[in-house]
Amino acid sequence: MYKLAAITGSLRKESINKTVMEEFKRLSADRVEMSVLDIGSLPLFNADLEEGGDPEAAAVFKETIRTADGVLIVTPEYSHGVPGVLKNALDWAGSMTNENVLAQLPAAVTGASPSALGTSLAQVQVKQTLTACGSFVLPQPELFIGAAHKRIGDGKITDEKTIELMREFLASFYTWLNRLTD
């Protein structure tokens, strides 16, 4: 079993990206033990807060990533960029002033949005940040779940093609994890 730290870049209760993460959890249950991380309780990153030890929420968050084989990120796109809550979480995890738990960690990034481009611009930014932190980011396949309002409803993925693409994405991530973990 792989241990994955799962981060969703939306705090919304009815988030379509949370639905995608839940589907990944279901599809990977036979091979993955997934810990879905709480990024909403992280304080705004401030290196001063690291002095004398991380705040509790950040310590728990970082420990889960530290002990994982990889990280899976499913994110929305806000104003053609990465949502602030997700960037804040990555700033805690990849801290240059304390331990960087993203270094040399396999990572995969995807996301869903109603637009045709399906979070492609946000994903580029997230991958850039992960790369700066030294993560090994799955380069292919890219998975942009566009027109998500037609594919996701009532907390479920309603489109078989999307589920198939998610399976392929997971299969490539398993290969990536297999190559990069002991």
Does position 123 bind ligand FNR by CB under 6 A?
A: no
Minimal distance, residue 102 CB to ligand FNR, in Å? 22
* Torsional class of 83: left (φ above 0), alpha (ψ -120 to 50), beta (otherwise): beta
Q: Which listed range, 7-15, 37-45, 59-67, 124-132, lies at the site for ligand FNR (CB under 6 A)?
A: 7-15
Measured distance CA(97)–CA(175) in Å, rounded: 32
Among 1, 12, 33, 99, binds ligand FNR (CB under 6 A): 12
Does position 17 bind ligand FNR by CB under 6 A?
A: yes
List the beta bridge partners of residue 5: 35, 71
Measured distance CA(102)–CA(15) in Å, rounded: 25
Single-letter amino acid, residue 75: T
Among 4, 5, 7, 15, binds ligand FNR (CB under 6 A): 15
Minimal distance, residue 181 CB to ligand FNR, in Å? 29
Question: Whose Cβ is closer to ligand FNR: residue 16's or residue 71's?
Answer: 16
Among 2, 4, 5, 10, binds ligand FNR (CB under 6 A): 10
Does position 124 bind ligand FNR by CB under 6 A?
A: no
Catalogue the E-assigned strands of 15-137. 32-36, 70-74, 106-112, 136-137
Strand, helix or coil for residue 5: strand
**Cα dihedral sign, 92-141-80-34:** negative
Chain residues in the site for ligand FNR (CB under 6 A) = 10, 12, 15-17, 76-80, 113-115, 119
